[in-house]
């Protein structure tokens, strides 16, 4: 009887695989927060939903400012997709919920401000780490956006024409699945050593933690 060679366990080197594996635990934790559970069950208070949009606006304003600043940087340029931008969509949602003077009526919470400051820091000092923040936010938006949109429309009795949930609509992306595949392939083409990839995984974990802190903050503001 011949002994069959034992194949060593697969050790991912692609950035997309490393990010998926490295954030699996914190991703599951984020998905199981009370806020997310309540949201998916349609238990959404309108004021809390509005505060969520405010936090998202400040987050995407910072991220898209840094993405624009670094759109030609070799460590980020392959991931420059303006069709992902969410700031203007969120602005329209806030117009709907608060009125055109919403900027005078809302403020950035302390938890959101910490997240915003970190995004600006990496964008200005280490643009490669911006990849982790873009990956965490945009891939999540594309993955669950349509489900969350329908839940919000039903629970909050929002118009079927899109007002209040423009954030979840990606008009320039026809197939979320195909776009996510493209995005991951572009990430994998970045010329990065393993040490940098490990730092990106750590930064993505941090991004998830920032998002959870923002959600906790909204819960305290109820």
pLDDT for res 145: 80
Model pLDDT for residues 154-205, shown as the tens digit of each residue: 999 999 999 999 999 999 999 999 999 999 999 999 999 999 999 999 999 9
State both tokens at 136: 């965490």
pLDDT exceeds cutoff 60 at 222: no
CATH top class, domain 15-220: mainly alpha
Domain ranges of the chain: 15-220
Query: Which residues make up each annotated binding site?
Result: 27, 135, 184
Q: Measured between alpha carbons, how far is 204 from 20 in angstroms, rounded to an integer?
A: 10
Which tens digit of pLDDT belongs to each residue from 97-144?
A: 999 999 999 999 999 999 999 999 999 999 999 999 999 999 999 988
Task: Note the pLDDT tens digit of each residue in 38-88.
Answer: 888 888 899 999 999 999 999 999 999 999 999 999 999 999 999 999 999
Give the residue ranges of the annotated binding site for heme b: 27, 135, 184
Q: Which residue has the higher pLDDT, 213 or 9?
A: 213
Which pLDDT score is estimated for 5?
Answer: 52
């Amino acid at each position: 009887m011949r002994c069959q060679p034992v194949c060593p366990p697969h050790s991912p080197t692609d950035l997309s695989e490393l990010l998926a594996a490295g954030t699996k635990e914190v991703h599951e934790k984020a998905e199981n927060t009370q806020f997310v559970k309540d949201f998916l069950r349609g238990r959404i208070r309108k004021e809390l939903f509005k505060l969520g949009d405010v936090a998202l606006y400040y987050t995407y304003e910072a991220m898209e400012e840094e993405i624009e600043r670094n759109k030609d940087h070799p460590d980020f340029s392959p991931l420059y997709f303006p069709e992902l931008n969410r700031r203007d969509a969120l602005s329209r949602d806030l117009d709907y919920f608060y009125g055109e003077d919403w900027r005078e009526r809302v403020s950035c919470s302390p938890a959101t401000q910490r997240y915003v400051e970190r995004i600006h820091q990496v964008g200005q000092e280490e643009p490669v780490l911006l990849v982790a923040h873009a990956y965490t936010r945009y891939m999540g938006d594309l993955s669950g956006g349509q489900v969350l949109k329908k839940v919000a429309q039903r629970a909050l009795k929002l118009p079927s024409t899109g007002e209040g949930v423009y954030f979840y609509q990606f008009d320039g992306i026809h197939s979320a699945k195909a776009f996510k595949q493209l995005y991951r392939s572009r990430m994998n083409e970045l010329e990065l050593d393993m040490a940098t990839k490990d730092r990106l995984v750590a930064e993505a974990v941090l991004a998830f933690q920032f998002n959870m802190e923002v959600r906790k903050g909204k819960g305290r503001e109820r």
